[in-house]
Amino acid sequence: MAARRGCFPLVAVLLALLCRAEAAVRELKVGYYAETCPEAEGVVREVMARARAREARSVASVMRLQFHDCFVNGCDGSVLMDATPTMLGEKDALSNINSLRSFEVVDEIKEALEERCPGVVSCADIVVMAARDAVFLTGGPTWEVRLGREDSLTASQEDSDSIMPSPRANASALIRLFAGLNLSVTDLVALSGSHSIGEARCFSIVFRLYNQSGSGRPDPNMDAGYRRALNALCPRGGDEEVTGGMDATPRVFDNRYFKDLVALRGFLNSDQTLFSDNARTRRVVKRFSEDQDAFFRAFIEGMIKMGELQNPRKGEIRRNCRVANGSPSPATPKEVATYRVMDF
């Protein structure tokens, strides 16, 4: 059941805490929009399929938004918000700037849903549904998602900077990060398998190729042939915005990502470290490299657990995923999407 309305700020600390707790236990459920917007999940999948037809990489980019949203104060759509004169947006955080993309796909989904069911489907729920569909549309499993999230009223670049890991992160740091979100080592490895699809920039790996850990040498945990291929893709002093697939089948959701880690062909340091630097994560990587069904089951479980991280603050259903309701909007979602297409 959704949190009750009418929970007003009170002077009494106890009542304030009760009010906060009420928002924190907002119940999510399968079929949340069955009566208020029965077409919601179908609309999301339809728009995601169109986006994939236009640009195969886009669905992986949308799936990544769930991670960068949910890890920072829960799944509340905050990562979608544009910066304002009084708010530094999460889009400009260190792990997101010039990296997160395909926000226009979320805009397109939101616009389609607003035409059918105005003010009903939250942007936070759109991200969770779209991430699920990104996996399914690229050959991976599907699952039922529990819905009913509200959108945050603000975003926090500071919180994103302090939480989101660097591509340089090692397995021990990643284990601590995930544990802080009540996600297990298996969850960590399975969710890292989201890199089965999509691409990453040379910016994220040049240190591995030419100066790992300040050594002036390449990462020793890298297959020699793979390193030569990456040297050609990302030459020293070259364009660091060039992208490469994060596994050998970047358009197909499968367990090739884990096979590549075992073969020392992981693209990101934060990926390869799961096999090369930690016995606990190595065992799970090897299991998933040998058993795709086990990976799929664990990935579904991890996505559901991550998707149910919540922001305890009261939110809203944004009409435009980029701004809080009542804030001035410089452009409609359709106009923003048009500008972005023109920019590229």
Three-state DSSP state, 151: strand
Q: Which of 45, 57, 68, 259 is catalytic?
A: 68
Q: Does the annotation flag 249 for ligand binding? A: yes
Tell me how far the alpha carbon of residue 341 is from its chain's centroid. Answer: 22
Q: Does the annotation flag 107 for ligand binding? A: no
Q: Does the annotation flag 247 for ligand binding? A: yes
Q: Does the annotation flag 76 for ligand binding? A: yes
Tell me how far the alpha carbon of residue 174 is from its chain's centroid. Answer: 15
Tell me how far the alpha carbon of residue 250 is from its chain's centroid. Answer: 16
Q: Catalytic residue at 290?
A: no
Q: Does the annotation flag 343 for ligand binding? A: no
Nearest one of 164, 167, 172 to 277, comparing CA atoms = 172
CB burial of 179-196 (b: ≥16 within 10 Å; e: otherwise) equals eeeebbbbbbbbbbbbbb
Inter-residue long-range contacts of 88-93, CB under 8 Å, 24+ positions, other chains counted: 88/155, 88/156, 88/157, 88/158, 89/155, 89/157, 90/155, 90/156, 90/157, 90/159, 90/160, 92/157, 93/157, 93/160, 93/161, 93/164
Q: Does the annotation flag 74 for ligand binding? A: yes
Q: Does the annotation flag 271 for ligand binding? A: no
Q: Does the annotation flag 90 for ligand binding? A: yes
Q: Does the annotation flag 35 for ligand binding? A: no
Feature table: binding site: 69, 72, 74, 76, 78, 90, 165, 195, 247, 249, 254
Feature table: binding site for Ca(2+): 69, 72, 74, 76, 78, 90, 247, 249, 254
Feature table: binding site for substrate: 165
Supply the residues annotated as catalytic. 68
